Structure 1
Amino acid sequence: MYQINALNPKDEGHHTRKRFGQNFLHDQRVIAKIVRAVSPRAGDNVVEIGPGLAALTSPLIGECDALTVLELDRDLAAGLPGRVPHPERLTIVETDALKYDFNQLIEDDRPLRVVGNLPYNISTPLLFHLLEFGDKIKDMHFMLQKEVVDRITASPNTKEYGRLSVMIQYFCKPTFLFEVPPGSFNPPPKVTSAVFRLEPYATKPIVAKNEKALARLVGHVFTQRRKTLRNSLKGMLVEDGFENAGVDPMARPETLTLAQFVALADQMVA
């Protein structure tokens, strides 16, 4: 859908590129709020995904002594050093973040602090890709479509609660920070955006015996969310699986807590 990038005022003549679906953030108040939320400090290992035209990159690099940016658009990457203060602090990696090994950015055992205005069309796979490096990441601050952020931060018994809610919350503590209206971008997208924080757990509060089984179960039941768990999970659990898990077989998936999903996944047939 949309890739939201930061617009530096001196680059107002830059033409958006349709193949990247670019919409450039120009609202300085929103940019300042994002930087305050991140609160970068000297010594932080900060990584920005999709710096665009550097309006967010510039204030970030002013607050920390080093900043690594991942940019897929070669033209934008080439212009970045001329758009930021302290270009000597900037490291540019021209790459697709979806395929990038974030282990390469670990130095002196300093955890990563990841920031990004993510391409909306790849946001979900990118989030799960980043979670593969969760033990190396302190926190992540991202902007996405508000409806996606609502799903990530949703609680049980809400219409937004689903696979994305359960699986992200298994790995991270999510926090909804603030909305960003379409008028904050040029050109304005057709959706409202939102900024949120993810903090990967150093020690997960709830641990599944088999995380792949958990992902399979959660994905399966939410494709059939109108069915009771008894009907959607036929043949997938061991005998007395519901009783062992302490879960009502007549419940529907949107009513279950993360702990209940983990308990059910631990009862799956091998």
Structure 2
Amino acid sequence: MYQINALNPKDEGHHTRKRFGQNFLHDQRVIAKIVRSVSPRAGDNVVEIGPGLAALTSPLIGECDALTVLELDRDLAAGLPGRVPHPERLTIIETDALKYDFNLLIKDDRPLRVVGNLPYNISTPLLFHLLEFGDKIKDMHFMLQKEVVDRITASPNTKEYGRLSVMIQYFCKPTFLFEVPPGSFNPPPKVTSAVFRLEPYATKPIIAKNEKALARLVSHVFTQRRKTLRNSLKGMLVEDGFDKAGVDPMARPETLTLAQFVALSDQMVA
């Protein structure tokens, strides 16, 4: 997990933990850029996942009147109140965000604004877990490996375009914001990172008849992305399904738009 820290973690008496994949961001310019991108305001219901040593937490809490943080590392959680300028505004929840019910954070019907650094090994399930609460979320600002952000924001007919692109874009509008080089972290990771924004749709521009069927179809065709759709979807569509969907059966999955995937999923055999 890329947990943000403006200082050397050894100076804070905290050693990075390999099991949490901790890399602490020390670049003040990057920290300021993230805060500007989030642009928190008084009254916002802001939630930070993985506050680390509070380098992002501190400027965030200075801009809003309340901040909730979810931290898995008990040692880091215990030290947070002493690292922020307004500890009375801070609510700390020691939990695994992947298992947390974000409905519990809804206050006065104010939508959530989620900020954080997602562990690579659980980033995809965590994103989809958060999207289960999409109707309660205004926006999300995250930092991930750039290669994952490239996949989330990819367009058809690119090598990055795949299951993650289609399914995230079904639920959200994604925006690539900026890169973060390895040297901005301590210790430096082996990859370049990137910050991006997700805005869940209040009303989806394209709606599938069965979202589970859509997810199943998209996952299936991208595991066989070198095959034509006719071959990979053999037996999975109703008769004349390709014609009804208006999709070329000789096409390959990376060429299809989101609308075409939805049209195909609507023709799946029940």
TM interval, shorter chain, is over 0.9
Deviations 1:1-56 (A, max 9, x none): 76666657894542101111110011000000000000000000000000000000
Aligned residues of 2:143 and 2:196 also touching (Cα < 8 A): yes
Which runs of 5 or more structure 2 residues have no equivalent in the other structure?
none
Deviations 1:223-248 (A, max 9, x none): 00000000000000000000000000
For the structure 1 residues 131 and 8, does the alpha-carbon distance in structure 2 shift closer, same or farther, using more than 3 Å as the test? farther
- CA contact 1:2–1:121 (8 Å) conserved in 2: no
Q: Deviations over 1:148-195 (max 9, x none)?
A: 000000000000000000000000000000000000000000000000
- Name the CA distance, whole Å, in 2 between partners of 1:76 and 1:12: 10
> In 2, distance between residues paired with 1:259 and 1:130?
23
Confirm or deny: 8 A CA contact 2:134 2:200 kept in the other structure.
yes
8 Å Cα contact 1:71/1:95 also seen in 2: yes
Task: Say what the alpha-carbon RMSD is for the aligned residues.
Answer: 1.4
Q: For the Cα contact (< 8 Å) 1:42–1:65, is it kept in 2?
A: yes
Q: TM-score, normalised by structure 2?
A: 0.97
1:84-233 to 2 correspondences below 5 Å: 84-233=84-233
Check whether the contact 1:6–1:51 (CA below 8 A) recurs between aligned residues.
no
- Going from structure 1 to structure 2, the CA distance change for 1:265 and 1:149 (only over 3 Å counts) comes to same
Deviations 1:180-232 (A, max 9, x none): 00000000000000000000000000000000000000000000000000000
1 CA distance for matches of 2:7 and 2:215?
38
Secondary structure of 1:11's counterpart equals: coil
TM-score by length of 1: 0.97
CA, structure 1 residues 183+153, in 2 after alignment: closer, same or farther (shift >3 Å)?
Answer: same
Distance (Å, rounded) in 1 between the aligned partners of 2:112 and 2:2: 25
CA–CA distance in structure 2, aligned partners of residues 142 and 265 of structure 1: 30
Structure 1 position 119, deviation (Å): 1.3
Q: How far apart, in 2, do the equivalents of 1:41 and 1:101 lie?
A: 24
**Count of residues in Structure 1 that have an aligned counterpart in Structure 2:** 270
The structure-2 alpha-carbon separation of the partners of 1:245 and 1:231, relative to structure 1 and needing over 3 Å to count, comes to: same
3-state SS, counterpart of residue 128 of structure 2: helix
**Structure 1 unaligned residues grouped into runs of 5+:** none
- The verdict on how the C-alpha distance between 1:213 and 1:5 changes in structure 2, with shifts beyond 3 A counting, is farther
> Would the aligned equivalents of 2:6 and 2:28 in 1 still touch at CA under 8 Å?
no
CA distance in 1, matches of 2:8, 2:49: 16
Distance 1:94 1:242 in 2: 49
Specify the SS of the correspondent of 2:267.
Answer: coil
Tell me, in whole angstroms, the C-alpha distance in 1 between the residues paired with 2:3 and 2:127: 15
What is the distance in 2 between the residues matched to 1:123 and 1:58?
Answer: 24
Q: Is the 8 A contact 1:4 1:119 kept in 2?
A: no
Taking a change above 3 Å as real, the CA distance of residues 4 and 54 of structure 1, as seen in their structure-2 partners, is closer
CA contact (8 A) 1:98 1:125 kept: yes
| 1:5–1:22 Cα contact (<8 Å) kept | no
Question: Contact 2:3–2:51 at 8 Å: present in 1 too?
Answer: no
CA 1:4 to 1:56, structure 2 compared with 1: closer, same or farther past 3 Å? closer
